[in-house]
Amino acid sequence: MTRSTLFGAASAISLLAAAPALACDAPIKVGVLHSLSGTMAISETTLKDTMEMLIDQQNAAGGLLGCQIEAVVVDPASDWPLFAEKARELLTVSEVDVIFGSWTSVSRKSALPVLEELNGLMFYPVQYEGEESSKNVFYTGAAPNQQAIPATDYFLEELGVEKFALLGTDYVYPRTTNNILESYLISKGIAEEDIFVNYTPFGHSDWATIVADVVALGEDGKQVGVISTINGDANIGFYKELAAAGISADDIPVVAFSVGEEELSGLDTSNLVGHLAAWNYFQSAESELNEEWVAAWKARMGEDRVTNDPMEAHFIGFNMWVNAVTEAGTTDVDAVRAAMYGQEFPNLTGGTAVMLPNHHLAKPVLIGEITADGQFDIISQTSEVPGDAWTDYLPDSAVLVSDWQELGCGMYNTVTETCVQIKSNY
């Protein structure tokens, strides 16, 4: 088996077993809704490239239902309202069968009403704050219990952190995640006064005062740790300011949820060595499948290109969608949705991802330590953790469950035994 066909092989095997070759009047269309310009292009362009590679591999392996797959790429240009407009364009003008896209939570929430109105289907590949479960979205990135909570546990149990600085960019993902973490830390016996929370705008560059505040937390000798939901290039200034203040990872460790291989690529990582990140995948994961994936990516894109966690989420999501379409014998959204529940596909870290009735994956949680070459030394890895749409650490959410397969509801209240239709943060 060649690398060019490896990643479509599992889908192709089930396809060939289940359906004969069919005459195809038109290609199956896959919408790609990722920013190719603007502030998020550095992260999202890679995901567009990933989808094109996956589609090419699947076409080389025989296509889908006897048809070739066509990528329909649009550019929402890091403009959050434009995600809704481009989603509508993909579904009504291009008539795509599925969408893979969005990065920030605000872009996903922009597209969500359009997806629900038109019964479109989108696979969302990035870690997020949870507190959402739509029948029109499969969330293949990490929920808080698959990233934020395990990272916090690592600080508490392995590093003995006693005081926490929760630093984030000022938008919905960091704010909701930190609300969850504040509640979680208090439940673990951390006093409110030992939790410092701060938000800064996208692109923030002046970190001197904030770093001084973080350092001051440890004046009583207690171990301080930083949980970072800082996004984008603001991370560069933050880590540089820590280094300028003489603070190493041994002094005040930082665990980041939005810093991966792509963000480190091409940067001087001397100020970052020893700090941590929590994801469900790192390029350094040791598995035969990951070696093949990384080699195929570099062969296509160049040796300097790296892989990252959201790419693996698209790898899993796309292959599950292909297998669900094959089982359903159609790209019809309702039929594909029903076939998605229980789908399994190998993840790149050596285990198996499973799609749950709440539209989230069961995935392993990895903690990685930044190395001088911009990669991660994996220092902790769990078995597969089921993603939870609704956190146990916010009172309004603790009573909610999502089960689209049996209950047909993404917000089922276990106390009132009713399906809630709306929530204020939608």
Q: What is the pLDDT of residues 136-146, one digit of tens each?
A: 999 999 999 99
- Assess if residue 138 is contained within a domain: yes
Q: How far apart are CA 419 and CA 402, in angstroms?
A: 9
Strand 366-370 and strand 276-279: the pairing is antiparallel
In one letter, which amino acid is 344?
E
Q: How far apart are CA 376 and CA 265, in angstroms?
A: 12
Of the two residues 119 and 3, the one the predictor is more confident about is 119
Q: How far is CA 306 from CA 8, 291, 309, 374, in A?
A: 21, 12, 11, 10
| DSSP run (H or E) holding 219 | none
Instruction: Give per-residue pLDDT as tens, 287-337.
Output: 999 999 999 999 999 999 999 999 999 999 999 999 999 999 999 999 999
Q: How far apart are CA 178 and CA 375, in angstroms?
A: 26
Same-domain check for residues 129 and 251: no
Name the pTM for this structure. Answer: 0.90
Instruction: Give per-residue pLDDT as tens, 170-200.
Output: 999 999 999 999 999 999 999 999 999 999 9
Q: Which of 335, 366, 397 is the last residue of a domain?
A: 366
**The Cα angle at residue 394 between residues 390 and 113, in degrees rounded to 5:** 45
Residue 12 has pLDDT above 60, yes or no: no
Same-domain check for residues 123 and 191: no
Q: 154-157 long-range contacts, Cβ below 8 Å, gap at least 24?
A: 154/255, 154/276, 154/278, 154/367, 154/380, 155/225, 155/227, 155/253, 155/255, 156/188
Q: Which of 343, 366, 389 is the last residue of a domain?
A: 366
Domain range for 208 = 148-256
Alpha carbon 52 to its chain's center: 18
The pLDDT confidence band at residue 13, using thresholds 50, 70 and 90, is: very low
Secondary structure of residue 96 in the 3-state scheme: coil
How many structural domains compose the chain? 2
Same-domain check for residues 44 and 133: yes
Q: Which two tokens stand for residue 238?
A: 């933050």
